[in-house]
Amino acid sequence: MDNIFPVFDSSIPREAKEAKLLQKARVIWFTGLSGSGKTTLASALDRHLFENGYLSQLLDGDNIRSGINNNLGFSSEDRMENIRRIAEVSKLFLNCGIIAICAFISPARSMRQIVRSIVGEDDFYEIYLNTPLGVCESRDVKGLYAKARAGLIKDFTGVNAPYDAPEQAQLSIDTSSLSVEESVSALLENILPIIAYRPVND
């Protein structure tokens, strides 16, 4: 580590990139059980922002695991490293002035705290999809819950591994009681104000 010299201090500052993009960069972090609607809502948010002139990047569990984190398994250590790497990638997007939309189960509070510590408390916006387990299981298009209950998947969150519900999420949504459109409307009501660009001299 003694021979590593980050160039962040000499690169174009984030504020200048945000000014060029006319937006404030944030890390929007969706957490919740498998089947709670994370990918659905994150994708819908990403599309809405794009259609309204914002630049965002969607980071999703399956995509990350098939690419940058394809060498990681599902042990507790690997899951923690998975989230740590995602946080570092999200920080790079922040430095580019880009809104990072992240959809990950991230079941442990300690995982999400790592993200907070890496990207910064002010830039981390946590969204808890507080959807009941029974509803999530009924949406089990991948058959993961069934495999977990049959003993074919160990340490599956919600079945034989715990999920720590957030204690300080900025927004909680139960997708069993709201449509996708209603959920996206709630998202936009809360997110648009924090990504709206305001010149420094305002």
Decide if pLDDT at 200 tops 80.
no
Listed range (70-79, 100-109, 149-158) with the worst mean pLDDT: 70-79
Q: Taking the mean position of all CA atoms in its chain, how far away is CA 147?
A: 25
Decide if pLDDT at 63 tops 70.
yes
Residue 37 gets the label, from left (phi > 0), alpha (psi -120 to 50) or beta, of left
Decide if pLDDT at 70 tops 90.
no
Q: Which of 76, 106, 138, 179 is catalytic?
A: 106
Confidence of residue 5 (pLDDT cuts 50, 70, 90): low
Q: Residues 121-140: what's their mean pLDDT?
A: 95
Decide if pLDDT at 4 tops 60.
no
Decide if pLDDT at 62 tops 80.
no
- What is the DSSP secondary-structure string of the chain? -TT----GGGSPPHHHHHHHHTB---EEEEE--TTSSHHHHHHHHHHHHHHTT--EEEEEHHHHHTTTTTT--SSHHHHHHHHHHHHHHHHHHHHTTPEEEEE----SHHHHHHHHHHH-GGGEEEEEE---HHHHHHT-TT-HHHHHHTTSSSS-BTTTB-----SS-SEEE-TTTS-HHHHHHHHHHHHHHHHB---TT-
Q: What is the pLDDT of residue 201?
A: 63
Q: Taking the mean position of all CA atoms in its chain, how far away is CA 177?
A: 22
Q: pTM here?
A: 0.90
Q: Residues 163-173: what's their mean pLDDT?
A: 94
Confidence of residue 202 (pLDDT cuts 50, 70, 90): low
- What is the DSSP secondary-structure string of 101-154? EEE----SHHHHHHHHHHH-GGGEEEEEE---HHHHHHT-TT-HHHHHHTTSSS
Residue-averaged pLDDT of the chain:
91
In this predicted model, what pLDDT tens digit does every residue of 101-129 receive, in sequence order? 999 999 999 999 999 999 999 999 999 99
Tokens of 63: 């995509």
Confidence of residue 71 (pLDDT cuts 50, 70, 90): confident
Q: What is the pLDDT of residue 114?
A: 96
Q: Residues 135-164: what's their mean pLDDT?
A: 92
Task: Sketch out the chain's domains with CATH numbers.
Answer: 24-132+164-191 (3.40.50.300)
- CA pair distance 33, 19, nearest whole angstrom: 36
Decide if pLDDT at 198 tops 70.
yes
- CA pair distance 60, 53, nearest whole angstrom: 22
Catalytic site includes residue 106: yes
